[in-house]
Structure 1
Amino acid sequence: MSKKIFVSLPVTDVKASMAFYESLGFRNNPRFPDETAAWMVWSEDINFMLLSREKWQAMTTRPIPPSTSSEVMLALSLDSRDAVDAMAAAAAANGGTADINPIEDHGFMYTRDLADPDGHAVGAMWMDFSSMPSTS
């Protein structure tokens, strides 16, 4: 099996979270046949597993942090600045929050940070590697 990433997130409402992530451009892989989990695909190698809080707590005894805290920012690369803005608009229109941090525009890199309905931080980003400043 090639290297892949599966990010598991505890969510309050699996169906609402599915709709949110679909609005950002994820697609559902219907391999989980019950209502306690959803497999959302960003790319061939990047997948989000949305788990009901009950299913999450069956996997770990660690507490679920409050929606106002951040443990990790999951950054998703997009093809353009316009795509970053569109993702932020989709997040705000589908139960999430756009711009939980100030917008960053460094010319070669443009980012907007979002929160899903459960407060998980997602970064929408575009970068032009050919325009990155030299470190030398």
Structure 2
Amino acid sequence: MTKMIFINLPVTDLARSIAFYQAVGFEQNPQFSNDMASCMVWSEAIHVMLLTHDFWKTFTSKEIPDAHRAAQVLLCISRDSKEEVESIVNQAVDAGGKPDPTPVQDMGFMYGRSFEDPDGHIWETMWMDPQAAADGPPAEGTA
């Protein structure tokens, strides 16, 4: 079986979150979605589970932090070009997200931007030149 990752995110408005994630390119898997959760597919290996706060609380007694004020993780997805990085950030903004909660990164061989979803979860999106990825970091990037 292919190794997969399921990212679980607490959301305040499930319908709004589904619409947001669809707007930036995720596809909903109705087989694993209901009125408490929605499985949003980025790739064969990457799935995001959007969970209502009540449903989230059935998994842990830990407090749900306000992601608009605190960050525990930065989620990062790759794109095939700088233009695709720009496009997904623009799609996120058009769908109600916030652009660039983290600094824009332009290192020539690598380019990245970020966006927040309506609940404040930060998604970084990056492109790296395929040759640079194969060659490893430039000498000036190593310590």
- Quickly name the TM-score band, shorter chain normalised: over 0.9
> Aligned pair count?
136
Provide, for residues 71-98 of structure 1, a one-character-per-residue CA deviation record: whole Å limited to 9, x for no partner. 0011010011010001111111111111
Matching residue of 1:120: 121
Matching residue of 2:47: 47
Extract unaligned runs of 5+ from structure 2: none
Instruction: Provide the rounded CA distance (Å) in 1 between the counterparts of 2:35 and 2:96.
Output: 19
SS at match of 1:43: coil
Provide, for residues 10-45 of structure 1, a one-character-per-residue CA deviation record: whole Å limited to 9, x for no partner. 001111111111111110100135211000000000
Aligned alpha-carbon RMSD (Å): 1.4
Instruction: Provide the rounded CA distance (Å) in 2 between the counterparts of 1:51 and 1:33.
Output: 10
Extract unaligned runs of 5+ from structure 1: none
Provide, for residues 46-79 of structure 1, a one-character-per-residue CA deviation record: whole Å limited to 9, x for no partner. 0000000100011100011112211001101001
Instruction: Provide the rounded CA distance (Å) in 1 between the counterparts of 2:90 and 2:46.
Output: 22
Query: TM-score scaled by structure 2?
Result: 0.90
Q: Is the 8 A contact 2:33 2:39 kept in 1?
A: no
Instruction: Provide the rounded CA distance (Å) in 2 between the counterparts of 1:118 and 1:20.
Output: 10
SS at match of 2:86: helix
After superposing on structure 2, the runs of 4+ consecutive aligned residues of structure 1 that deviate more than 2 Å are: none
SS at match of 1:79: coil
Instruction: Provide the rounded CA distance (Å) in 1 between the counterparts of 2:33 and 2:77.
Output: 27
Structure 2 matches for 1:1-136, cutoff 5 A? 1-67=1-67, 68-131=69-132, 132-134=137-139, 135=142
